[in-house]
Amino acid sequence: MPGITLGDTVPNLEVATTHGKFKLHDYFADSWTVLFSHPGDFTPVCTTELGAMAKYAHEFDKRGVKLLGLSCDDVQSHKEWIKDIEAFAHGSKVKYPIIADPNKEIIPQLNMIDPIENGPSRALHIVGPDSKIKLSFLYPSTTGRNMDEVLRALDSLLMASKHNNKIATPVNWKPDEPVVISPAVSDEEAKKMFPQGFKTADLPSKKGYLRHTEAAIIPRSHTWLLPIYFVVSLGCYGLLMVGIGLMQFPTCPQEAVLLQKDIAEAKDFFKHKGVDVGSN
Ligand code: BEZ
């Protein structure tokens, strides 16, 4: 695949999008981005793919990851096409920007070309907050991508990055499954790094290189909500307690008068029966 690839910095192009003009590095700053290209507007496979991205948007949001589409037509055409995409996606909204590339000048610079067709492809780069490419897919225009696989690959990158690439994810890995420890990590280091322990596969070579450990992924963008959840829960608990407390007392003056009347009548009744009920 000629052109920019893993580890390369995406050129800081100024792009026209459905959300206005911006420089790519400004968009990439401070988060991961999934940048995905499409051959053209009002084409069947692309409509299904962009609709799926809209449906999956909450999954990317949960991980604090931005989406950025590109299609080889102009902004006005994109805006018209979005109406079809949203209708096809049963109302899921296309909230992410789509880059315009009507003259196919941007796709070669982003290495989003199909070398067989010498034309647009279904390329997808996962770009880190440092504007460097961390993963690339290159599909021909005849093959739609699998959004579950995009998400799975993204989770793998986030997991490895969270552990400074000292872990890797094995075949068909999913986020709640064990990961493997990098061969660059010794057993001694692994014991310190993974207090939960690890399991070494007993293989004929006895080289002990296949070690599994448990590691859970944390949806990053939602951790800041924890203090809010705590304060809201505390508030609800307080309100509940106040409510229960109020239920023990008369809630209006009329009720209080009725209660006092009941007590006085009860006292009279017991007095008649010769029972001493005291003065209070
Ligand atoms: C499509 O999106 O359906 C498509 C685009 C270009 C070539 C073939 C299919």
The rounded radius of gyration (Å) of the Cα atoms in the chain is 31
pLDDT, residue 182, reads 97
Give how far Cα 35 sits from Cα of 46, 69, 133, 226, 252, Å: 14, 6, 10, 30, 63
Average pLDDT for residues 133-162, to the nearest whole number? Answer: 97
> What is the distance between the alpha carbons of residues 169 and 159, in angstroms, rounded to a whole number?
8
Question: Is pLDDT of 196 > 80?
Answer: yes
Question: What is the predicted pLDDT for the residue at 226?
Answer: 53
Residue with the smallest CA separation from ligand 1 atom 1 is 45
46 lines ligand 1 (CB under 6 A): yes
- Say if ligand 1 is within 6 A of residue 138 CB: no
**Which pLDDT score, from 0 to 100, does residue 11 have?**
98
Query: Hey, is 203 helix, strand or coil?
Result: coil
Residue 237: what pLDDT? 72
Per the structure block, which two tokens stand in for 135? 């993963």
- Does domain 14-158 fall under CATH 1.10.274.10? My reply is no
Tell me: the pLDDT tens digits for 239-274? 777 666 666 555 545 555 555 666 667 667 667 767
Q: Is 197 left (phi over 0), alpha (psi -120 to 50) or beta?
A: left
Strand order in the sheet with 122-127: 20-23, 14-17, 98-100, 65-71, 32-38, 122-127, 133-139
pLDDT category at 235 given cuts 50, 70, 90 is confident
pLDDT in tens, 68-123: 999 999 999 999 999 999 999 998 999 999 999 999 999 999 999 999 999 999 99
User: pLDDT tier at 1 (50, 70, 90 boundaries)?
Assistant: very low
Residue 128 to residue 32: CA distance in whole angstroms: 5
Residues of the chain with CATH 3.40.30.10: 14-158
CA of 142 to the centre of ligand 1 (A): 6
127-129-135 Cα angle (round to 5): 25
Spacing, Cα 123 to ligand 1 middle (Å): 13
Q: What is the mean pLDDT of residues 212-222?
A: 65
46 catalytically annotated: yes
Instruction: Give the residue, by CA position, lying nearest to ligand 1 atom 7.
Output: 141
Tens digits of residue pLDDT in 25-62: 999 999 999 999 999 999 999 999 999 999 999 999 99
What is the CATH number that goes with domain 163-213?
Answer: 3.30.1020.10
Which atom of ligand 1 is found nearest the CA of 40? 5
What pLDDT was estimated at residue 275?
Answer: 67
> What pLDDT, on a 0 to 100 scale, did the predictor assign at position 31?
97
Task: Return the residue matching tokens 């280091």.
Answer: 189
* pTM score, whole prediction: 0.77
Q: Where in the chain is the domain with CATH 3.30.1020.10?
A: 163-213
Which atom of ligand 1 lies at the shortest distance from residue 49's CA? 2
The phi and psi torsions of 123 (rounded to 5 degrees) equal -95, 155
**How far apart are the C-alpha atoms of 25 and 37, rounded to whole Å?**
17
Share of the chain above pLDDT 70, in %: 80
| Terminal C-alpha separation, the chain | 95
Q: Residue 240 Cα, ligand 1 centroid: separation in angstroms?
A: 58
